[in-house]
A = this chain, B = another copy of it.
Amino acid sequence: MEKLLISSPWAEVEPLFNQKREVVKEAGLWGLALPEAYGGQGLTLAEFGRVSEVLGRTPGGHYVFGCQAPDMGNMELLVHAGTEAQRERFLQPLARGEVRSCFAMTEPEHAGSNPTWMSTTAAREGNEYVINGHKWFITAAEGAAFAVVMAVTDPDAESRHARASQIIVPLDTPGFHIERNISVMGEAHGGWNSHAEVWFEDVRVPVENLIGEEGKGFALAQLRLGPGRIHHCMRWIGICERAFDIMCSRAARREVAPGRHLGGQGMVQAWIAESRAEINAARLMVLETAHKIDNEGIYAARDEISLIKFFAAEVLMRVLDRALQTLGGLGMSDDTPIAYWYRHERASRIYDGPDEVHKMSVARRILRRYQ
């Protein structure tokens, strides 16, 4: 068996993915989570959650169906807060899958756990913003048509939540450059599945590229997290289900001695039962949260959004770890997708706020009710 497609250089992966995208479009399944106006089907979050689980079973699922991060988040952002001109110029080609985009928020000098603390600035000069800054872990930057950039527009705003704005930066703008694709878990291929370290040096964009109002960058980022969390968490559930299948298949069929199967061992049985329980639990929690967001909005569901973040990520890593151990040497190899997920989905406990930050913030909100 060959090395996993998804880990291969993007130049090898992209053509195949694009072929499959055509199949999806012909089947009328493209961009399911988008409003109908943009070629989607206007699924609710809870509905799309169920889809996201299925797509998550294969590493390229979301890409092939046109609802991959970080593009999906950028599309939701522009649907929600973009101007007509922005939608025309940036959203439409993205929604059609003609271009890719990225989201530039994290900075190497500042802890990602503190999203209001950043050094990148966008200074207004006439009808332009002049952007300067250093960002990293910018997923899918290489080859992207544009970035949505978080930058400080008002460093003196009293509230630290009102300092930053989100601005669209076409990546062919002079002053932008990619320093490197960061080698992540041994892989540094470019393309959709890469993570760049980038610089903005006197990058000038028209003020029309501001998304929403000035100073609303943090609020827009919060908005992004709700649906994004559901997408991710349900994708993780899909990974869990696939890993569970692979683990159970192996346990049911692998002989440890003539006529005696791996699945007859008590410790393996414990892993299977515990995984089944935890995956069921995680799915119910995420879908419940999706319903709450659909019905009551993101603010009302912010505790649940934090809870599913770390709960589902921890379940994901435990299930992958058990599957890998059940497979033994095979689990270390790239003959199954387990090893790919084991190393790359480890990031699930880190991105969009490390688990610990979510635990701290949800606990503080809970404790306020007891004071």
A340 touches B274 (CB 8 A): no
> Does A272 contact B343, Cβ atoms closer than 8 Å?
no
Q: How far is the CB of A76 from chain B (nearest CB, A)?
A: 23
- Contact check, B270 vs A363: say whether CB atoms are below 8 A apart: yes
A106: interface (CB < 8 Å): yes
Complex CA distance for A333 and B308, rounded to whole angstroms: 25
Residue A136 lies at the interface, judged by CB distance under 8 Å to chain B: yes
* A269 B342 Cβ-Cβ under 8 A: no
Minimal Cβ-Cβ distance residue in B for A362: B273
What's the tally of chain A residues with a CB closer than 8 Å to chain B? 93
Counting CB contacts under 8 A, is A59 at the interface?
no
In the complex the two chains form, is B280's CB within 8 Å of A285's CB?
Answer: yes
CA distance A362 to B281 in the complex (A): 16
Number of copies of this kind of chain in the complex: 4
Q: A248-B370, A364-B269 are in contact. Are A285 and B274 (CB under 8 A)?
A: no
| Residues on B with beta carbons closer than 8 Å to the beta carbon of A340 | 186
| Interface positions of A from 333 to 361, Cβ below 8 Å from B | 333-335, 339-340, 342-343, 346-347, 349-351, 354-356, 358-360
Q: In chain A between 240 and 275, which residues have their CB closer than 8 angstroms to a CB of chain B?
A: 245, 248-249, 251-258, 262-263, 265-270, 272-274
* Residue in B187, B265, B285 whose beta carbon sits within 8 Å of that of A266 in the complex: B265
A/B interface sample: 14 pairs, CB < 8 A: A4-B183, A7-B183, A7-B186, A184-B333, A185-B334, A185-B343, A251-B370, A265-B266, A266-B269, A273-B359, A273-B366, A278-B311, A329-B350, A329-B351
